[in-house]
Structure 1
Amino acid sequence: MKKVKIHDAIMGSGKTTKAIANMKKNKGSFLYVTPFLNEVERILENVPNTFQPKVTNVKNHLGEWEILHKRNNLLTMANNGKNIVTTHSLFSKLQRSDYSFFKDYDLILDEVLTPIEVIKISADDIKIAFKQGLLVKNDKTGEVTYTGDDYKGFYSALKPYCDTANVVHVNDRLLVWAFPPEIFQSFKSVTVLTYLFEGSLLASYFKYYKIPYELEKHSDQDEAIMKFKISKLLNIYEGLSNKWGDHHSAFCVSWLRNKTSKEFKQIKDTVSNILQRNFAATSNDTAFTTFKKFESKLKGKGYSRGFVPVNERATNKYAHKGTMIYLANRFLDPNIIDFFRSGNVKVDENNWALAELLQWIWRGAIRNHEEMNLFIPSKRMRTLLSEWLNDTDYKSLSMAA
């Protein structure tokens, strides 16, 4: 079985730049998959003879015009051996019947994709769907097939998941969509560009489906030097106002759900005071995040217009932000942990949370190697960052840096 190559290197080390240089030299065909459209544009601008699948109008064999949707446009390009750049979203819509188009392609994944999703449907509704015959389960594999092609209603939302032929029934209560593992053996080669891969869900997915991979890490010395430089540029608040986050679960979804209006006001006032007294930050200079459902409850004076989604990645549009406020504490959905546990795979939740935090922090001015203020009241998240920064011998690096 072919091994997936993982290029694991710290943010700012030039992974994408090196990938662009390699694609320019590539004599075969490649499919480059990235999370966001602005990165698609970057590849299109920098790599000649590269194409993006779009909805187009084409003439059929009868000479009539018809719509060619993005997935079909991608497959047409692949059939013609074109170099293609697209998003994680479109890539995840590929079906097993599509994989044969890519046997001569090199796949490059810029950042790890989300390989599994717990479908939002209750255990009772799942039972009803099975009872009505809209879902059929393969008792040997656990795989679920959707049979209600002509059905229009609540359960029709399950069809797009089942179309990729990899929905499984877990613990008699969950429907989980997982990326079909065969796709990673359908390409000539697969390369993933990322950082802290072992903490990602994709690493757990590879272990669950026994997909072999090899890790190619940035040199320890180069990474340590970069961490040293980052630590000198970050001004992390360490004062008494961090008391809000002392509890292990502080600022997670359930903790925020139980806060009163009075407590939300106190947190907002705390943030506003730190911005004014400790950071002397302006509204335009400040970004903040929390979980989307709590944005309106936590936005306050001096930072209300600076919301950046907690899962924001791969964009430089906030690179002018010199002050970042992180009002979140990241934990995985327990159902996802249960899914991997069913295959005796342990998920490194702390490493996953650290990777998510670093991706968000890296949206700000630090990405341009500029000084940046940081307020992370969650003790757990702040400790993960501190331990990551201090996981090296700074004294021996001071001369090298």
Structure 2
Amino acid sequence: MIWKEIYYINLFFNKHSTNVSNVYGTVTDLMLNDIWKIYHYSVVVHHFNEQDMIDKSNIIKNVGLSKYSNLINIIDHKKINRIGENKFDLSKDWYLAQQNESSLKELSNNVNNYFRNIMSGKTINCMWTTYYESKYLISGKGFKKGFIGLNDLSTKLNSNSIYLAYLCNNFYPQSYTQRIFPESTYALIEILHFISHSAIRDGKEIWIYIPSIRMRNLLNHWILENS
């Protein structure tokens, strides 16, 4: 009989975790040629910031961006958009739900298909974002380098990016009750701020993959209002 020594590790670090050190544990490999699954962990987490939202809110009526609204092409592709058909799909909680493992794999394949096959994009022309803590759940070989975290958008620009992917569905955190703007306005602010850091700032046409039907509808409505 072969005995195997097992140590339990907390591999699921989320918003309820309070001690980063709890993520790590000890595993003794008894050289049984087991296949170990590699988990990625990032201590960087996307946080909601009310003042940041207020500072960015003028983007909705920004003349410099709205005059280019006709240059925004939202990807209308039934197969790769199917993953975001429900209201809360691609929200922060959706990513953290363990039962969505197959959906995360599907999303990774969709993004890779979009960048590499549908758009035939080069790495330098691709830019995508999601919540920091979700990055390693979906990043793939075909688009890994084009990632810009939501927290980085105030400092990073990519004027070469004409193929974008917005893999978020923004909602207020439950702890935020003041709500200066409607929740839909907050979501629109975030996606417009992301778009404004692409090649559109130079008057270039862009294409954007938005799996969340809620986020697509918000952006479509803004484009219609500014066309």
Match of 1:385 in 2: 219
Please give the per-residue CA displacement for 1:36-84, whole angstroms capped at 9, x wherever unaligned.
xxxxxxxxxxxxxxxxxxxxxxxxxxxxxxxxxxxxxxxxxxxxxxxxx
Please give the per-residue CA displacement for 1:262-318, whole angstroms capped at 9, x wherever unaligned.
322211111111222321111221111111111011101310111101243344531
Please give the per-residue CA displacement for 1:301-353, whole angstroms capped at 9, x wherever unaligned.
3101111012433445312111111111111112112xx2xxxx764111111
Matches for 1:58-73 after TM superposition, within 5 Å: none
1:357 to 183, 187, 191: 191
Letter paired with 1:254: D
Match of 2:175 in 1: 335
Are 1:366 and 2:200 matched, yes or no?
yes
1:263 to 103, 126, 131: 103
Match of 1:375 in 2: 209
Distance 1:266 1:226 in 2: 32
Are 1:243 and 2:82 matched, yes or no?
yes
Larger relative contact order (CA 8 Å, sep ≥ 6): 2
Letter paired with 1:257: L
Please give the per-residue CA displacement for 1:155-202, whole angstroms capped at 9, x wherever unaligned.
xxxxxxxxxxxxxxxxxxxxxxx99xxxxxxxxxxxx975448x9xxx
Please give the per-residue CA displacement for 1:122-152, whole angstroms capped at 9, x wherever unaligned.
9xxxxxxxxxxxxxxxxxxxxxxxxxxxxxx
Name the CA shift for 1:287/1:226 in 2 (closer, same or farther; >3 Å): closer
2:161 to 295, 315, 321: 321
TM-score by length of 1: 0.40
Structure 2: runs of 5 or more not aligned: 1-15, 19-49
Distance 1:297 1:288 in 2: 14
Letter paired with 1:267: L
For these two proteins, the number of residue pairs brought into alignment is 178
Distance 2:189 2:203 in 1: 19
Q: Is the 8 A contact 1:312 1:359 kept in 2?
A: no
Q: How far apart are residue 226 of structure 1 and its match? A: 5.6
Distance 2:184 2:58 in 1: 11
Identity within the alignment, %: 24
Match of 2:136 in 1: 296
* Aligned CA-pair RMSD: 3.0
Matches for 1:170-181 after TM superposition, within 5 Å: none
Q: How far apart are residue 229 of structure 1 and its match? A: 3.1
1:229 to 68, 80, 91: 68
Letter paired with 1:379: I
Q: Is the 8 A contact 1:331 1:349 kept in 2?
A: yes
Distance 1:290 1:226 in 2: 22
Distance 1:266 1:279 in 2: 18
Match of 1:5 in 2: none
Matches for 1:272-283 after TM superposition, within 5 Å: 272-283=112-123
Distance 1:355 1:322 in 2: 20
Distance 1:346 1:321 in 2: 32
Letter paired with 2:220: S
Of Structure 1 and Structure 2, the greater strand share is in: 1
Matches for 1:144-163 after TM superposition, within 5 Å: none
Q: Is the 8 A contact 2:83 2:103 kept in 1?
A: no
Distance 2:167 2:55 in 1: 28
Distance 2:134 2:65 in 1: 34
Letter paired with 1:264: L
Where 2:73 maps in the other structure, the secondary structure is strand
Distance 1:265 1:238 in 2: 21
TM-score by length of 2: 0.68
Name the CA shift for 1:229/1:346 in 2 (closer, same or farther; >3 Å): closer
Q: Is the 8 A contact 1:246 1:378 kept in 2?
A: yes
